[in-house]
Structure 1
Amino acid sequence: MGLKSRRVLAAVIALNGAIIVAEVAFSKISGSVALLSDALHNTGDMSALLLAMAAATVAERRASWKKTFGYRRAEVIAAELNSLLIMGLAFYIVYESVDRLIHPSEVNGTIVMAVAAIALAANLLSATLLRRGAKENINQRGAYLHMLADAGTSFAVLFGGFFTRIFGLYEIDPLVGLFVSAVIFYGGYGLLKDSLHILMEGAPEVDVERIRRKVLQVKGVRDIHTIRCWKVSDEDSYFTGHLVVDPCPLEEAAALRREVERVIKAEGINNVTLQVEIPGEELSCGEGNVL
């Protein structure tokens, strides 16, 4: 992520922070749980924006002999914590919304509409600023999608404020709060599921059995076994295996290995390591015999 992209992300975070403060303050003044839910939704998304900036910084740190995979998984751990925070906020909004449904209170629809309209404009502006970088960087793409989701929930709050102002339907406000909490929980659950999958050494979004079938179609390959396929981060995937080839000179075996690596990488795997096995041959790793 370049300097310009980081400045854009920093500006979006500052704008989002100002909206959160305004929504929390005016939710107390107006008595709107919908505004509070939108503020908490924005809080979860701002933590995601901060994560994107932190990930860009951590990604620049080089691997070491103690951390041979580098620091890429720090991003996954942060995502795990972020998902738990988001889901916790969703439960809090549900509690507040249900309490407001049981004990209705007056809501100032005019204030709700005004603040929600400003939040909607700010979220659309943020999404516009992030749009160009979203095509080039996965972290900025995630931030861009977060801002679009924020715009959607702000519109829902604006819609609820309109009905409260025009028709005096105060029950609409906590119902909007429940809707926003469902959106927040869904996003948090998806993030929790994805981060746990990576931490549990889950395979990337590829069909490993399909890769195996393609490898077996390569002429000269007898089998591939002891397959391990996993993700270190959202962007880094690894594949290792033992490749059994027909009896042949070492040079041909090395060429076969390179061809199989090409086949596997074409399926979206970043890093491939293969150990070649030739039936009846004991392969040494001396000079000139490295496969």
Structure 2
Amino acid sequence: MAHAHHHHAGGAAAAAEDDPAAAKRRGRRLLIALALNLGIVVAEVVGGAISGSLALLADAAHNLADAGAILVAYIAWRISRRKADPRRTFGYARAETVGAVINLTVLLVIGVFLGYEAVTRLFDPQPIQGEIMLIVGAIAMAEDVAAAWVLRKETGANVRSAFLHMIADALATLGVVLGALAVMIWGVTWVDPAITAAIAVYIFVHAGAEMRGAVAVLMDSAPQGFDYDALRRLLENEDGVAGVHHLHLWRLDEERVALEVHLALDHADLAAATRMKEGLKGRLAERFGVAHATIEVECAAGVDHDGALFARE
């Protein structure tokens, strides 16, 4: 008796990635966002140099890092769409995660530099031209909002994180505008390095949180909050299953969860075991979002496993 072999593809995100039109739109939106970010960087570097505003230069550095992040995201996204081959049998999807680690590492280094410069300027204030700082800050904020608008409809984790970066950048640039107003109205120059320090703190918090998520993927961790116990109960309560061992969960990439498990059966009916496996794969995909499941079955009476293997690992 023949059995259909199904691969569960992980829902809407996977479907969107398989749509050539959606893929083309995603690439185009990333390039538009990249162009807008580079425009922000040029404007803020020129404006910061003329006005003497460290906050503008700090935001320019942040936006340059974000432009690099978008570029790496675009390249990584292109690589991630390559088909699996004999060397990369799971495909290239983790290229996006590797790109994220590169971007976040650079961003954390920039955060350290900005923090140092902010402390230096607090003890050695520099004259600032508030009018130029205000004009350039307003232009940069408009471009940040435009970049966020371009990426707003994307749902993939990689591009979605870029969208959140744009929103955060718009808020940081709003801080620059408020700092310029403070300089113009009250003449307080300490606001500029204070805003720079706030941007540095934001970088540490935001990049640190995203770094933990990226490293978790590279460490083959299960998704945070995954109900391991419920999944194990589902397997143990399946008719004919006498034991569950070698149960491993990990993420193939930011979207797809993979599972590997050995099931010891109390019978030797291969046809029934095959039907059970296919049914389990469907339920695992539907209930737990498992996109790739490898289930090995064996007859419990014919296998001498260490008792510890049947316990929770």
Q: Which SS does the other structure have where 2:238 is aligned?
A: coil
TM-score by structure 1 length?
0.90
Q: Distance in 1 between matches of 2:259 and 2:26?
A: 32
User: For the Cα contact (< 8 Å) 1:123–1:148, is it kept in 2?
Assistant: yes
User: For the Cα contact (< 8 Å) 2:80–2:94, is it kept in 1?
Assistant: no
The letter of the residue matching 1:199 is L
Within 5 Å, which residues of 2 pair with 1:80-95? Answer: 80-95=101-116
User: For the Cα contact (< 8 Å) 1:110–1:165, is it kept in 2?
Assistant: yes
Q: Distance in 2 between matches of 1:47 and 1:223?
A: 50
Match of 1:237 in 2: 257
Please, which moves more after superposition, 59-68 or 211-220? 211-220
Where structure 2 has 5 or more consecutive residues not aligned to the other structure, the ranges are 1-21, 304-313
Q: State the Cα deviation string for residues 14-61 of structure 1 (Å, max 9, x = none).
A: 111011011112112111111111111112211221122112211221
Within 5 Å, which residues of 2 pair with 1:265-276? Answer: 265=285, 266-276=287-297
The letter of the residue matching 2:133 is V
1:261 shift after superposition: 2.0
The letter of the residue matching 1:2 is A
Q: Distance in 2 between matches of 1:218 and 1:279?
A: 15
Q: Which SS does the other structure have where 2:258 is aligned?
A: strand
User: For the Cα contact (< 8 Å) 1:241–1:273, is it kept in 2?
Assistant: yes
Match of 2:7 in 1: none
User: For the Cα contact (< 8 Å) 2:241–2:263, is it kept in 1?
Assistant: yes
Stretches (4+) displaced over 3 A: none
User: For the Cα contact (< 8 Å) 1:215–1:264, is it kept in 2?
Assistant: no
Q: Distance in 2 between matches of 1:2 and 1:198?
A: 23
Q: Distance in 1 between matches of 2:234 and 2:175?
A: 48
User: For the Cα contact (< 8 Å) 2:266–2:301, is it kept in 1?
Assistant: no
Aligned with residue 167 of structure 2, among 120, 125, 148? 148
Please, which moves more after superposition, 216-225 or 60-69? 216-225
- % identical aligned pairs: 32
Q: Distance in 2 between matches of 1:148 and 1:229?
A: 33
Aligned with residue 252 of structure 1, among 255, 269, 272? 272
Aligned with residue 37 of structure 1, among 58, 63, 72? 58
Match of 2:190 in 1: 171
User: For the Cα contact (< 8 Å) 2:138–2:177, is it kept in 1?
Assistant: yes
Q: Which SS does the other structure have where 1:234 is aligned?
A: coil
Q: Verify: 1:201 aligned to 2:220, yes or no.
A: yes
Q: Distance in 2 between matches of 1:204 and 1:269?
A: 11
Where structure 1 has 5 or more consecutive residues not aligned to the other structure, the ranges are 283-291
Q: Distance in 1 between matches of 2:26 and 2:218?
A: 28
The letter of the residue matching 1:173 is D
User: For the Cα contact (< 8 Å) 1:214–1:263, is it kept in 2?
Assistant: no
1:129 shift after superposition: 1.6
Within 5 Å, which residues of 2 pair with 1:1-291? Answer: 1-132=22-153, 134-135=154-155, 137-205=156-224, 206-247=226-267, 249-265=269-285, 266-281=287-302
1:70 shift after superposition: 2.1
User: For the Cα contact (< 8 Å) 2:241–2:264, is it kept in 1?
Assistant: yes
Q: Distance in 1 between matches of 2:191 and 2:233?
A: 55
Q: 1:258 to 1:270 in 2, by over 3 A?
A: same
Please, which moves more after superposition, 229-238 or 26-35? 229-238
User: For the Cα contact (< 8 Å) 1:215–1:263, is it kept in 2?
Assistant: no
Q: Which has the higher contact order (CA 8 A, sep 6+)?
A: 2
Please, which moves more after superposition, 105-114 or 195-204? 195-204
Count residues in correspondence. 280
